Amino acid sequence: MASKHAALAVPATAALPHSLRLPATSARVVATISRVPRPSLIDLVLGWLDDENQARCGPYLVTGEDEDEADDSVYPAARSLDQLRQLYEGLPRTRGSKREVAERILEGDWRHGVTLYQLAMADMRYLTDRPGALKWAAMKLEPLQADGEARNDMPADPDDTAGIPRFHAPTFLQNLQREVAPVVKAHYYLMRTASPPVTFLRVYIHDSPYSNYVGTRGDTRPSGSKTVYVAFPDGAPHVYVSIVAAPGQVVGGEGRSLRKVVLEALAKALSRPQSRFCLRPTALVTKSLSALLAMRGAGRGNGAHGGWSIFADGSVDGSPLDERPPETSKRTYEDDDDKENEGADAADPLAKRRKALTAGRFGSDGVASTDKKALERVVITLEDAFPRLPHSSSTAEDDEPWKPSIRLTFSGAHVIAGIRALADAGLVDAARMPGWMTGEAAVSAGVVRDGRVVRGSGSGLA
């Protein structure tokens, strides 16, 4: 006999609510909770137990109707919020593992499910504890012309914010939801951090436009393609977009399509009538948010890298256009490591000259202890013509220069610092090396012609 109350799926355009609970046994929930460090996990739970968060993070408590029922769980349910607060406040003073705390959350106090709001808080807490967990691609906001092409009339001064759309969180989320809702259902979570001064947006994408939440039930495996992280730096015409959600996760064709929908919606949500914007790749991908803020942020160092960095960070007084030597300097731009090796340099004048030359080419960049512009991977494609040998015979067929396809890949914890160390050791000629090797171009992928980076290549989002 058919049930009188059949399930009915109704199309809806609203965002997934914060209070929607996912099963505590879901692989997504278990993976997200289990990767948060123990101290952060305890602090996170205490935030969930705050009175203001009970509508979105309420735990499982024993009520009057359940008091007579036997609780055979390893972690018996508490009777009040105060009891739970005292329990978790005492955990930092006891010895235990992160797994024990996670099991207590999933099998005991939140056995009835974890809300999307809690999952987003745990996810963002992990990212703030481990800033290098994600790769970020820097995208530039550019105004659109009537024909849909990007204009190049953005302010030339990096400190000029006249061409940047104003970011108002409630209005932006409302516009973003309106653009995304017809295609996918999603959950949105905004978080503000003081250091670095960035507003983070986490978008959990659900690929069904219906409100039956089939995809949020069951033991589905976590997928990085369904979570997009976006960072909005203060006062800068750039947006940082995550590439994958976690190391080792593979983003398929469906995931790329869903992410493309969100990226297109971001620019539309930041636009307003008579002022439309688009997102353009800037060929800069890195795990370091501090590097993105230094090279694609609101500071004065956006256009001053390599040897020019000393004028941006205040190392010397005066202007780079002034041919006269500066009368005073706030500090020398030779790195601190040189001071430790003054004795060795005195015995080797050639090494001292190399270090002085390297300091002039790199400025304050490339010093591993102080430089925040860490790039883990730099890929350069050379399009220069191969030089002709002297006294070589040439024919009509040889009129076209030979341009071999050469791609150079530099990898490491800090590529520019590594190249600077090679120059200090004399393995790279600091006097003849091209400017892009000192980090002047500020890209992680680019095409070099005539010794200069003529254009960046790739967005890093594929």
Query: pLDDT at residue 74 above 90?
Result: no
pLDDT recorded at residue 154: 46
Query: pLDDT at residue 436 above 70?
Result: yes
What's the whole-model pTM score?
0.81
Q: Residue 87 and residue 409: Cα distance in Å, rounded?
A: 52
Query: pLDDT at residue 100 above 50?
Result: yes
Mean of the per-residue pLDDT values for the chain? Answer: 78
Mean pLDDT of 186-199: 90
Question: Around Cβ 227, how many Cβ atoms within 10 Å?
Answer: 25
Locate tokens 């790749």: which residue?
A: 281
Q: Residue 146 and residue 276: Cα distance in Å, rounded?
A: 9
Q: Which of 148-162, 313-327, 384-398 has the lowest mean pLDDT?
A: 148-162
Q: Which of 97-101, 224-228, 307-311, 333-337 has the highest mean pLDDT?
A: 97-101
pLDDT recorded at residue 430: 87
Kind of pairing, strands 445-449 and 452-456? Answer: antiparallel
Query: pLDDT at residue 123 above 70?
Result: yes
Mean pLDDT of 393-416: 78
- Better pLDDT: 171 or 149: 171
Query: pLDDT at residue 442 above 60?
Result: yes
pLDDT recorded at residue 333: 47
Query: pLDDT at residue 145 above 80?
Result: no
pLDDT recorded at residue 1: 45
pLDDT recorded at residue 151: 54
pLDDT recorded at residue 59: 93
Of 173, 48, 60, nearest in space to 121 by CA: 48
pLDDT recorded at residue 321: 59
Query: pLDDT at residue 50 above 90?
Result: yes
Name the pLDDT band for 327 (thresholds 50, 70, 90): low
276-306 pLDDT tens trace: 888 888 899 999 898 899 888 887 767 777 7
pLDDT recorded at residue 63: 76
